[in-house]
Homo-oligomer: A and B are copies of this chain.
Amino acid sequence: VLEAGHPTPQRKARSGRVSLATIAELAGVSSPTVSKVLNRRDGVGPDTRQRVEELLRDHGYRRAHLDARVPTLEVVHHHMLSSISMEILRGVTEVAAGHGHTVTFVDASHEFTGQARWIEALVQRRPAGVITVVSGVSPQEADLLAKEQIPLVALDPVGEMYAVPAVGSSNWSGALSGTRHLLELGHRRIGVLSGPVRDLSARARLDGFRAALDYAGVPYNVQLERNGAFTFESGLELGLQLLSRPEPPTAIVCSDDLQAMGVLEAARQKGLRVPQDLSVVGFDDIEQASWTSPPLTTVRQPFAEMGAAAARIVLGLADGKAPTQSRLELDTPLIVRGSTAPPSPTR
Contacts and interface: CB of A to CB of B under 8 A. Distances in A.
B68 A68 contact: no
Contact of A94 (B60, B107, B148): B107
Interface in A10-52: none
A18 to B, nearest CB: 13
B288 A265 contact: no
A103 B76 CA distance: 11
A343 to B, nearest CB: 23
Identical chains bound together, number: 2
Classify chain A: how many residues form its interface, as a range: 35 or more
A89 interface: yes
Interface of A: 60, 62-68, 70, 72, 75, 80-83, 85-87, 89-90, 93-94, 97-98, 100, 102-107, 112-115, 121, 124-126, 147-148, 232, 258, 261-262, 264-265, 268, 287-288, 290-291, 293
Across the A-B interface, give the 8 residue pairs with the lowest CB-CB distance, nearest first: A65-B65, A82-B83, A93-B107, A232-B291, A97-B112, A105-B105, A103-B105, A83-B83
Contacts of A290: 232
A94 B77 CA distance: 13
A62 B127 CA distance: 13
Nearest to A83: B82
Contacts of A264: 293
